[in-house]
Amino acid sequence: MAEERVQRRLAAILAADVVGYSRLMEADEQGTLTVLKARRRDILAPLITRYRGRLVKVMGDGVLVEFASAVDAVQCAIDLQCSTADANDSLPDSKRVILRIGINLGDIIVDGSDLYGDGVNVAARLEALGEPGDICVSGSVYDQVKRKLDTGFDDLGLKSLKNITEPMRVYRVRNLAIADRKGETGPLPLPSEPSIAVLPFNNMSGDAEQDVFTDGLTEDLITDLSRNASLFVIARHSTFAYKGKSIDIRLIARDLGVRYLLEGSARRAAGRVRINVQLIDAVSGAHLWADRFDRDLEDIFAVQDEVTAKIVEALVGRLVTQPPRNRPNSMEAYDLCVRGRALIGISPEASRESRLLLQRAIALDPDYAEAHRLLAFHLWQAWAQWGEPEVPNRLAAVAMAEKAVKLDPNDAGCRFVLGHLLAYERRWPESDAEFATALKIDPNYADAWADLSDFSVLSGKPATAIEQVEKALRLNPHPPRWYYWDLGFAQYAARRYESAVVTLRNEATYRTISRRVLAASLAQLGRTDEARQEGGLFMASNPHFTISQWAASQPFRDQATRDHFIDGYRKAGLPD
């Protein structure tokens, strides 16, 4: 009997899913299902008919649609995103349905009404690459539609997709109608100062263990450049969002709102290090400066200083001398410190590992200021966040931070950590002075600006706090999640409750302790049921929380602000 022939055809496949589906179901299962059914009936089904598509399957929070034309598939996706966003206008933030969409043109296997094969799998992988509200398409789709639709495309570069053998070029649809409905305001404006982002250096050593060294080199260059008030320097967290990704430099520069990018690579072997760097004008594409350094490993810090000086001279037009930073006397201590630096803020277990690494670094180099200040911050986290004993960690943290400043008064990080710890000791004038000095040394210090906003709220100055955290977000456009927590905290204090709800429902911070401020914001808006629900979810993760214990632990300088938070927490049903 002849073997049955597999049926194949070429098709454009659209895969879409709902962002934050689990959160929506957790908050309101029946309501979410009702909204999704209505969207499929009133929006998706008519669009599929208009663009001559076929609904292949519905998969809980996602759908798969087949089209004979790539043009029809992309236009359907654009209309779907726009119509979905318009429908969200009538819903509260907590119930809004936001889609991610991926489209691929490829060979598919037909099995009855279902479809299989890489043509389908790639579409699903592309969808997962996107941000909320995005449409990502494969190179094969782009080639078919680039001159046939009134829309632009961002080249995201070659991407490695899960279970797909070869990297694929990916594009993101850039459509004004979608951007308007996503609330996007276009590219970030360029600062008045020369603006630069240092991209993660490539590790050319052939040894994955050297990634930490290469990352540390990148971080140190960012720190050194950041200390120059004549430059606008993007923070490390945002530039490392591009690590391991092949993306057009013009897109990166536009995304970060800078004109210049520094790229580089490092190879470390046999006691030597070779570093290649190039400074690029992302507007013109011109290479402003490039150099190679082949030195003994012990000269690494001199190389960092030389690279920094040449970049500043190229961008500012003159060499600006900064006060020298304390440099380690031991490369082994430096390696330990860099490894410890990478573990900060991850978990209690990572914190304990980092502490051991930093203690070993200090044992090797007792005058290493950065190791002291990082260890000081860990000791503070131990009692303030990780539930470890307050004694002796609290006093030890302050003593360690004070020693770090004594070892290197020109290190903004040492000043910032000491300022943070002194605020918790209610030594406010000293804390204010340390923060001011930190930001004078390093005006681009995004984490310090964000952290300072927290203490401005506690001082009864929410408008100032919002300005400070917004400055931090401009310096760090892809921030760690606690920036959103700080922004929502400040917005609540300023009685901008609607804004706080939007900020604190951001996926980056939603499931953290910021949920209690979200609950308070909803309560102040009179959305009592939602507030009680969020308050209950917060207590499920933080069963020992009490309002009185929290209020006593926070370094409030303003009684009215303290009372305002207590009032919101009580209205949300949190326990006294």
Beta bridge partners, 137, equal: 103, 171
Cβ neighbours of 144 (radius 10 Å): 18
DSSP 387: -
Residue pLDDT tens, the chain, 576 long: 445 567 889 999 999 999 888 888 877 888 889 999 999 999 999 999 999 999 999 987 899 999 999 999 999 999 999 999 888 887 877 778 899 999 999 999 988 888 888 889 999 999 988 888 889 999 999 999 988 887 778 777 788 788 787 888 889 887 655 655 555 555 678 888 899 999 999 998 877 778 888 998 999 999 999 998 889 999 999 999 888 877 788 888 988 999 999 999 999 888 898 999 999 999 888 888 898 988 888 888 888 888 888 888 888 875 566 677 788 999 999 999 999 998 887 778 888 999 999 999 999 999 999 999 999 999 998 888 777 888 999 999 999 999 999 999 999 999 999 999 999 999 999 999 999 999 999 999 999 999 999 999 999 999 999 999 999 999 999 999 899 999 999 999 999 999 999 899 887 888 888 999 999 999 999 999 999 999 999 999 889 899 998 999 899 999 999 999 999 999 999 999
Specify the CATH number for 324-444; select among 3.40.50.2000, 1.25.40.10, 3.30.420.40, 1.10.8.60: 1.25.40.10
DSSP 267: E
Residues present in the chain in total? 576
Predicted pLDDT at 1: 40
Q: Cis link prior to 392 (omega < 30° from 0)?
A: yes
| Of 314, 365, 309, 318, residue with least CA distance to 337 | 365
Q: DSSP letters of 178-245?
A: HHHHHT---SPPPPSS-EEEEPPPEE-SS-GGGHHHHHHHHHHHHHHHHT-TTSEE--HHHHGGGTT-
Alpha helices by DSSP H, listed for 385-493, are 390-407, 412-424, 428-441, 446-458, 462-475, 482-493
Specify the CATH number for 195-316; select among 3.40.1440.10, 2.50.20.10, 3.40.50.880, 3.40.50.10610: 3.40.50.10610
Distance of alpha carbon 410 from alpha carbon 430, whole angstroms:
17
* Residue 320 DSSP SS3: coil
Cβ within 8 Å of residue 412, ≥6 positions away: 226, 227, 437, 438, 439, 441, 442, 445, 448
| Of 552, 525, 522, residue with least CA distance to 538 | 522
Q: 3-state SS string over 117-183?
A: CHHHHHHHHHHHHCCCCCEEEEHHHHHHHCCCCCCEEEEEEEECCCCCCCCEEEEEEECHHHHHHHC
* Residue 12 DSSP SS3: strand
The one-letter code for the residue type at 185 is T
The one-letter code for the residue type at 416 is F
Distances from the Cα of 204 to the Cαs of 265, 273, 289, 400, 444, in angstroms?
6, 10, 21, 36, 29
Q: Where in the chain is the domain with CATH 3.30.70.1230?
A: 7-182
**Which contacts (CB < 8 Å, 24+ apart) does range 449-456 have?**
449/475, 450/476, 450/479, 450/482, 450/483, 450/486, 451/416, 451/420, 451/486, 452/419, 453/486, 453/487, 453/489, 453/490, 454/486, 454/489, 455/423, 455/431, 455/555, 456/490
Query: How many angstroms separate the most distant Cα atoms in the chain?
Result: 90
Distances from the Cα of 294 to the Cαs of 275, 464, 487, in angstroms?
7, 47, 44
* Residue 53 DSSP SS3: strand
Query: CA Rg, the chain, in Å?
Result: 26
Q: Where in the chain is the domain with CATH 3.40.50.10610?
A: 195-316
> Are 89 and 72 contacting, i.e. CB atoms less than 8 angstroms apart?
no
> Are 550 and 538 contacting, i.e. CB atoms less than 8 angstroms apart?
no
Cβ neighbours of 429 (radius 10 Å): 8
CATH number for the domain running over 7-182: 3.30.70.1230
| Of 280, 185, 201, 238, residue with least CA distance to 444 | 238
> Are 219 and 207 contacting, i.e. CB atoms less than 8 angstroms apart?
no
Cβ within 8 Å of residue 129, ≥6 positions away: 102, 136, 156, 159, 161, 170
Q: DSSP letters of 487-530?
A: HHHHHHHTT-HHHHHHHHTSTTTTTSTTHHHHHHHHHHTT-HHH
Query: Can you name the CATH fold of 453-576?
Result: 1.25.40
